[in-house]
Amino acid sequence: MEKRVDKRIEDVTYNRAKFWQILLFSLNNASTNIYLMAFTFVTYLSTGVLGLTALFVSQLMGYVRIFDGFIDPTIGVLIDKTDTKFGKYRPILVLGNVITAISLILMLGLQNLDEGIRMPLFLVILIIHKIGYSLQQTITKAGQVALTNDPKQRPIFNMIDGIATTLLFTGSQIFISGSMVPRHGGFTASFFTELFLGVIIISAILAILAIVGIWEKDNKKYFGLGDKTQETSLKDYWKVIKGNQPLKVLSISAAFVKFVSQLFGDSVLVVMLYGILFGDYALSGQMSLLLILPGILVNLGAAQIARRKGLRFAYVTALQVGIFGLVGLAYFLFRAEPGMLSLTSLNLFTIGFFITYTLGRYASSAPSGLVLTMGADITDYETSVSGRYLSGMIGTIFSLTDSIASSFAPMVIGFVLAGIGFGKEYPTVETAYSTDLKMATIILMIVIPVVTLSLSLFLMKFYNLDQEEMARIQEKIHVMKAAKDEERVMAIAKNVPLTDMDYVDVKQYKVDQYDEK
């Protein structure tokens, strides 16, 4: 009697990882995010230290991010084609981290050059930085596919990453606003020297830990169908992009979320909110300290929902809560005046602001973490319908839309501020409060994010990889791996409606059915 594979998810043989492997590999995202944090201050480096024009720099950095997005698919192909004795992912991770570190060192050196050549070299360094960043960041998405395919384990990555990301961004804001800025007298040359060198060292340590985490699973037997994985030519990539509906829907939806997340994290907007609207920039560090635990709890809650209800359900729920929080935050920003937010003598305004800001910012950003894992689901979906393993390319498609969307964050901020008279330089902590700056803050923190997140939520109506569907996909991959030859693999991939079957008998599939279709 032939061995049959029960349709129930518990009968699928999963590739599971040890907890410490997930823990360490998840730090790769923190390793790249710390560069993202540092780059939120580059606008001040370019204008205050290098003497470049604020509006021009904001547009330039936006266009460079768009360029970065378009080179990402090439990086994806590079990852998919990489096959060395050191694995697929580890060499790319190391290369990306080294290139990104070099770009910051080169940027520090621009202040010693003539002003006439600073702009073109600044552009070149931005491009180098984006290439290195994309190489390492893509591994975060691509490597998860090989690390584990257990739907109960994958959200653990989001839990750890949520904690690490929250600690990273809030901790850095506390240290920068409370220690570095006062000690260096603002965003000076010495400030950026300490910031960049610290970022390079911390990122390198986190990258090494991530390499240890992926070491065992960076092996061909964990890539797709193993030896039965279908070869992919360059012309096949367009077929995948064109035909993979979940990839198209989620990549665009996630891009909208990333855009909003970039707005909230931009250093200029932080200065406008705390330094001008509330009149005390040090509040940004103090609030960040208080927001560490709530931020972690929001991310843990989203990941726990994903473990119980599936990633799609958690993604949609987080968007809904985020929009609700931002609508509530609008009330407090309209009432805001310098001195109203106080952490020394708590009042109803401070409590209300704290609650709505936590929900609005962290719930609306939670889907960005979930997407890192949902990309692995889409890679498995592609394997189940074509037999191909394209973790690199699929990961970089997200980077493409992510880069294009996030590129609009500094551009939008630049245009809004230029509209109220800040076209040559950005507002600083010394800038006086005004109604125009207050309305600009509300537009950037409430109006634009709510509209954008609503579009993201609408798109998720067309994303069908819910918990039940992913169980069917993993079962199908399990059956494909059990097939004896590649023809049977493709027959299973193309012809078997598993959603209508209780059992799958591998030897009953007919290759001639595949040929006819």
Mean pLDDT is lowest, of 5-14, 18-27, 160-169, for 5-14
Is 446 inside any structural domain? yes
Mean pLDDT within 329-347: 89
Q: What is the mean pLDDT of residues 115-139?
A: 84
Q: Left, alpha or beta for 223 (phi > 0: left; psi -120 to 50: alpha)?
A: beta
Asked if residue 490 is part of any domain, the answer here is no
> What local confidence, expressed as pLDDT, does residue 114 receive?
77
Check pLDDT > 90 for residue 442: yes
274 in helix, strand or coil? helix
DSSP structure string for 492-504: HHHH--GGG-SEE
- Helix (H) / strand (E) containing 6: strand 5-6
Q: What's the mean pLDDT in 57-81?
A: 73
Q: How far apart are CA 292 and CA 299, in angstroms?
A: 11
Comparing 4-8, 269-273, 363-367, 510-514, which segment has the lowest mean pLDDT?
510-514
Provide the domain count of the chain: 1
Residue 406 lies in a domain: yes
Tell me whether residue 489 is in a domain. Answer: no
Asked whether residue 399 is domain-assigned, the answer is yes
- For residue 294, the SS3 value is helix
Mean pLDDT across the stretch 184-190? 83
Burial 247-259 (b: 16+ CB within 10 A, else e): bbbbbbbbbbbbb
- What's the domain range around 447? 18-471
Q: Phi, psi (5° rounding) for residue 441?
A: -65, -45
Q: Is the dihedral of CA 120, 125, 128, 133 positive or negative?
A: negative
Q: Rounded to a whole number, what is the distance in angstroms from the first to the last CA of the chain?
A: 29
CB 438 within 8 A of CB 284: no
Provide the H-helix boundaries in 359-442.
364-386, 391-418, 435-442
* Domain assignment present for 331: yes
Neighbouring C-beta atoms of residue 304, cutoff 10 Å:
14
Non-local (6+) Cβ contacts of 13 within 8 A are 478
* 232 or 411, higher pLDDT: 411
pLDDT at 190 over 90: no
Higher pLDDT, 42 or 453: 453
Report pLDDT digits (tens) over 72-82.
Answer: 777 878 888 88
pLDDT (tens digit, 9 = 90+) per residue, 238-292? 777 788 899 999 999 999 998 998 888 888 898 999 989 998 888 887 887 888 8
Residue showing tokens 């635990």 = 293
Of the chain, the percentage scoring pLDDT greater than 90 comes to: 28
Looking at residue 3, what is its pLDDT?
37
- For residue 507, give every residue at least 6 positions away whose Cβ sits within 8 Å of its Cβ, in sequence order, or none: 2
pLDDT in tens, 80-120: 888 888 888 999 999 999 999 999 999 888 877 777 787 78
| More confident position, 353 or 49 | 353
Which segments within 47-198 are labelled E, that is strand? none
More confident position, 304 or 227: 304
pTM of the full structure: 0.74
Residue 497 has pLDDT above 70, yes or no: no
Q: Which of 170, 146, 188 is nearest to 293 (CA)?
A: 170
SS3 labels along 383-398: HHHHCCCCHHHHHHHH
**Residue 2 located in a structural domain:** no
CATH number where 244 lies: 1.20.1250.20
**Residue 513, domain member (yes or no):** no
Structure tokens at 160: 């750890």
Read off the tokens for 464: 């069908």
- pLDDT attached to residue 488: 61
pLDDT tens digits along 459-486: 999 999 988 888 888 877 777 776 666 6
Euclidean distance between CA atoms 498 and 241, whole angstroms:
23
pLDDT of residue 5: 38
Nearest to 110 by CA among 196, 30, 178, 27: 196
pLDDT of residue 483: 64
Q: Judge whether 16 and 216 are in contact, CB under 8 Å.
A: no
- To 5 degrees, how large is the angle CA 258–CA 259–CA 262? 85
Q: What number of CA atoms fall less than 13 Å from residue 63's CA on the CB side?
A: 8
What pLDDT does residue 60 have?
73
